[in-house]
Amino acid sequence: MLSYRHAFHAGNHADVLKHAVLVHLLDYLRQKEKALWYVDTHTGAAGYALDEAWARKNSEFATGIGRLWARKDVPASLAGYIGEVRSLNADGDLRFYPGSAQIAIQMLRPQDRLRLFELHSTEGRLLREHFANDAPRVLVQAGDGFDGLKSVLPPPSRRGLALIDPSYEDKRDYARARAALEDGLQRFATGVYLLWYPIVQRRESQQLPESLKRMRPTNWLHVALTVKAPAAEGFGLHGSGLFVVNPPWTLPAMLAEAMPYLVRVLGQDAGADFALESELA
C-alpha cells in the first residue's frame, strides 16, 4: 500500500533542484535533431494545482518555487526552468506546477518519445488522463518503474534520458535505484541518467552518493542542496541530491552559478549549503 502523493510536495525545494537540472538536460539534448526518448521511472501525476487541498496541506511549494516566483534577480542558469513553470501560469499568478513528465512534453519535439511508469493507481489514472491524447508519442505504463526501465533500454534511437525518481518511502528504494542505474548503464551506456535522492537522517541516504560513485561511471556529476540543519528529532527532509551520469559538459557551469543563488533564496537557516562535484572525461 503506497501512501506517497507527490501533490503534497509539488514545487518544494527538492522539485526546484530536480526540475531545474531536468530542464537543462532536456534543453541540451534537444539541440540534436535525432529522436530522444525520455523515460520517467516514477512519474507522479504530471501536473499539480497548487491551490488544491493536497498541495495546500503543508504548502511545501511556498518554500520552493514560491520563493523564486516573484524574484527579479533569477540567474540565467535558472531562467529556462522558471520559463517552463511560467508557461503554465501565463497570468503571472503561481497556480499550477508541472511534474517532470509535463516539463518533458513541453520541451520535447514531435519526433521524441516519453515512456512513463507509475505504480500508484490514483496517480496512474491522473497521468493517463493527462496524456490521453498523446499516444503513441507518450505511453503511460502502470507498474513498477525499476522493472519498466529495463523494458525500454536501449531506446531505438540510441538517444535517451532516464529520470529515476522514487519516493523512498520504502527504504529498499535506495538499493533499487542504484541497481536500476547500474542495469541501465549495462543496457545503454551512453544514456543520460538523472537519479534523485532525499537528504534525510538515515544511513541509506547518507551512503548513496558514495555508493553511486563506486559504480565508476565514466562521466558523472553529483549535486546536493541542503536548505536547513537536520531536525533535532531526527526526521524530515532537509535537502536533496541528484546524481547525473553522462551529463552535458555545460551542467557543472550551470550549477556553479545556480547553487549559491538557491542556497541564498531557498535556505531556511544557517545549515543551508550545497555540494557540487563531478568527473567528466
Q: Which residues are catalytic?
A: 165
Q: Among 38-46, 197-205, 247-255, 269-277, which window interacts with ligand SAM (CB under 6 A)? A: 38-46
Q: Among 57-65, 66-74, 107-115, 165-173, which window interacts with ligand SAM (CB under 6 A)? A: 165-173
54 is an interface residue for ligand SAM by CB under 6 A: no
Strands 113-118 and 160-164, by their bridges, are unpaired
Please report which residue ranges of the chain form alpha helices under DSSP H.
Answer: 13-29, 53-56, 65-69, 76-86, 100-107, 121-130, 145-152, 172-187, 203-213, 251-266
Cell of 94: 503561481
Binding mask 82-101 for ligand SAM (x = CB under 6 A): -----------------xx-
Q: Residue 117 carries which DSSP code?
A: E
Which one of residues 27, 144, 183, 273 is an interface residue with ligand SAM (CB under 6 A)? 144
Which one of residues 13, 120, 178, 228 is an interface residue with ligand SAM (CB under 6 A)? 120
φ/ψ of 162, rounded to 5, equals -115, 125
Closer to ligand SAM by Cβ: residue 73 or 168: 168
Taking the complex as a whole, the smallest distance from the CB of residue 8 to ligand SAM amounts, in Å, to 10
Q: Interior CA angle at 81 toward 241 and 262, to 5°?
A: 50
Q: Among 1-9, 154-162, 224-232, 247-255, which window interacts with ligand SAM (CB under 6 A)? A: 1-9
| Percent of the chain as helix, strand, coil, to the nearest 5 | 40, 20, 40
- Residues in touch with ligand SAM (CB under 6 A): 2, 4, 6, 18, 40, 42-44, 99-100, 117-120, 123, 144-146, 165-167
